[in-house]
Chains A and B, each alone.
Chain A
Amino acid sequence: MTTSLASEPSTPPDVQESRSLELASYGDRVFRWLLTLGALFIPVLLGFLVYELWQGSRLAIGEFGLSFVTTSTWDPVAEEFGALPLIFGTLISATIALVIAVPLSLGVAIYLSEFAPKSVRQPVAFLISLLAAIPSVVYGLWGIFVLIPLLRTTAFPFLRDAFAFLPLFQGPIYGPSMFSAGIILAIMVMPYIMSVSREVLLAVPDSQREAALGLGATRWEAVITAVLPYARSGIAGAVILGLGRALGETMAVTMVIGNRHEIAASLFAPGYTMAAAIANEFSEAVGDMHLSALAYVAFLLFVVTVLVNAGARLLIWRVARGSGIGSKAL
């Protein structure tokens, strides 16, 4: 301490300062380059992924072209492949999941952000994030051992009797089915939709609520007229995020969907999804065309997922730019 004080007058302070500044800015530059490299890694990786999928599916694209998307035969022995039932199954199971999950998740999110006492909010929010951490194979096993027997003996017969006029609820009940897959998916995407839309609702400024209440609205009316419209885009983002997850889910779905390459009108009939088919057949696919067809399916799934995710990002970005809502959700 004393030596440094004593030596100080010998070197002019401004020289020392500029030297340390130079050093600091050098460190800054290195740091910046490192970060840029790290960030560049993502698009490069994505590029490789697309390239690889494209390379892998070229054989099948050359052979089947766009008819791959419109035909239904899946015969590894004769090497005839069509992915329509897979695309259909992916979209339908995800739709069922959203039809069930969106109202429930929104209800929970509204309750947690608007009505729940403080002592309930944190524990429930914590439990929801815990749900999101359960591995999908566990959901699948639970589906096989608990959900399917339950549905087969209670919900399915009830639906078949009550809505016998709808083709959706006709035909034999096996258990594993498009409907079972939709329900499992609903349970799996709910935590995502819940926690994101809860964050979005929490980010709605109190002035919105106060204004509505000040005009004589009840709390319920305030939520409907002032809070939800304000958070609309953010909630849409949450839903699309859930949809993206439902489209790509593999293990739990393949364990409960029945894995049949067929388009059936009844939700009780077994179906198949793109992700499930890839997971099931890839490891034992021997023929080049079979492999290539699976890569083609992966490529199509990638296209669908990218479109959905881009939509979600766009929506949340719009909200975030306007008012800061949703920025927390990201």
Chain B
Amino acid sequence: MLIRSYHLAASLGLATLACGGDKAPGDGAGGASSAAARSTLTGAGATFPNPIYTKWFDTYAKSTGVRINYQSIGSGGGIRQFTERTVDFGATDGPMNDAQIRAVQGNVVHIPTVIGAVVLTYNVPGAGSAKLRFDAPTIADVFLGRLTKWNDRRIAALNPGVNLPDRDIIVVHRSDGSGTTYVFVDYLSKISPEWKQKVGTATSVNWPVGLGGKGNEGVTQQVKQTEGAIGYVELIYAISNDLPYATVKNASGNFVEPTLQTSTAAASGVDLPPDTDFRVSITNASGPNAYPITSFTWLLIRKEGQDPAKAQAIWDFVRWMSNAEAQRLAADLHYAPLPMPVIELVQARIPGSPAPSP
């Protein structure tokens, strides 16, 4: 009997301790956000920004105690789950179209987070490590299957001094639906009326020619192993895997190398009105320094009808995400940061009173 009551006391004590332990991180956050601090947000969607989102959510949880649970299930899944209200926010690489917005009664704000760029990577024997140069009509014709030889005079004219072989061009594209594909074919649709009419823009399309590789790694392997292959991958992927990639002639007529700076430049080139819904495509942007195959990636947030504490927590995160430090974290992972005018527009969109800065 005596022993039993001792056990009881001990376990009660432990339980109390455990409760105290649970509270600690919430207390640490303190201040106005403590209500939000105890909540956990869930989000789902785009895979392309997943590395930076993971990094952001992790850093954010450490500094504020707000846990954000993100599942990178793909943009299509993100939009679906957002529409079915199974998540607190969605994320997508391609903006919701008008029909999808009608499906949620217009109750959505697109918030751009970072900018991604898509690059052309290739395997041309004989060209060495030369950075090949392409212009819009050439790219369109290669992917439409009309330009089929590497030593075609149109490619040669763009690349004087490069030894181009008499080889077939083998197009490699993504087989899985992907935001990368969306950005690339969005560019093709803008520069080629024929592409727009025959193929169009979506996360997976009916490719006129080529092989499908699964994921960035599938495309990369296919390009690496096949002489004469050309494919497209994300800039981050090309940089971290040391792939050769092409310089592309932009809308102002300059050949621009894809970098974080030229990607950001593409976004600063677009003129956004103060009441923009941010659903803008920035491919083929007009700035002199703009790399033309770039895109925002977005968070999908409800305008209303959200639990107030959660809505507060989401917008707190948006505020944090748009500060200089968080955007620098993005650059560390090779995501191009948002340009200043876009950041200001995003911050102007955050409702309510200012929350404590992290």
Residues of A bordering B, CB below 8 Å: 73-78, 144-145, 148-149, 152, 172, 174-176, 254-255, 258-261, 270, 272, 276, 279-287
A270/B205 contact (C-beta < 8 A), A144-B218, A259-B175, A281-B177 known: no
User: Quick one: which of B94, B179, B204, B226 has the most chain A CB within 10 A?
Assistant: B204
In the complex, what residues of A have CB within 8 A of residue B225's CB? Answer: 148-149, 152, 175
A259/B213 contact (C-beta < 8 A), A148-B225, A280-B177, A284-B178 known: yes
Instruction: State the Cβ distance, A248 to closest chain B Cβ, in Å.
Output: 17
Instruction: State the Cβ distance, A82 to closest chain B Cβ, in Å.
Output: 11
Tell whether B199 is near chain A: CB-to-CB under 8 Å. yes
- Complex CA gap A254/B174 in Å reads 11
A76/B218 contact (C-beta < 8 A), A260-B211, A283-B76 known: no
Q: Are B76 and A284 interface neighbours, CB within 8 A?
A: yes
In the complex, what residues of A have CB within 8 A of residue B289's CB? Answer: none
Tally of A-B residue pairs with Cβ under 8 A?
A: 96
Q: Are A284 and B226 interface neighbours, CB within 8 A?
A: no
In the complex, what residues of B have CB within 8 A of residue A260's CB? Answer: 207, 210-212
Besides A76-B202, A284-B77, 5 more A-B contacts (Cβ < 8 Å) are A77-B200, A144-B218, A145-B221, A279-B176, A281-B176
Tell whether B322 is near chain A: CB-to-CB under 8 Å. no
Can you list 30 A-B contacts (CB < 8 A)? A75-B205, A76-B202, A76-B205, A76-B206, A77-B199, A77-B200, A77-B202, A78-B200, A148-B225, A174-B226, A175-B222, A175-B225, A176-B211, A258-B212, A259-B175, A259-B211, A260-B207, A261-B206, A270-B211, A280-B175, A280-B176, A280-B214, A281-B176, A283-B73, A284-B176, A285-B76, A285-B204, A286-B80, A286-B94, A287-B202
Tell whether B263 is near chain A: CB-to-CB under 8 Å. no
A281/B214 contact (C-beta < 8 A), A77-B199, A172-B168, A286-B79 known: no
In the complex, what residues of B have CB within 8 A of residue A76's CB? Answer: 177, 202-206
In the complex, what residues of B have CB within 8 A of residue A144's CB? Answer: 218, 221
For the complex, count residues of B whose C-beta is within 8 A of A: 36
Residue of B nearest to A80 (CB): B206
Residues of B bordering A, CB below 8 Å: 73-77, 79-80, 94, 97, 100, 168, 170, 175-179, 199-207, 210-214, 218, 221-222, 225-226
Partner of A259, one of B100, B199, B214: B214
Residue of A nearest to B75 (CB): A284
- Complex CA gap A108/B269 in Å reads 66
Instruction: State the Cβ distance, B116 to closest chain A Cβ, in Å.
Output: 15
Q: Are B75 and A254 interface neighbours, CB within 8 A?
A: no
In the complex, what residues of A have CB within 8 A of residue B80's CB? Answer: 286
User: Quick one: which of A73, A172, A260 has the most chain B CB within 10 A?
Assistant: A260
Q: Are B214 and A286 interface neighbours, CB within 8 A?
A: no
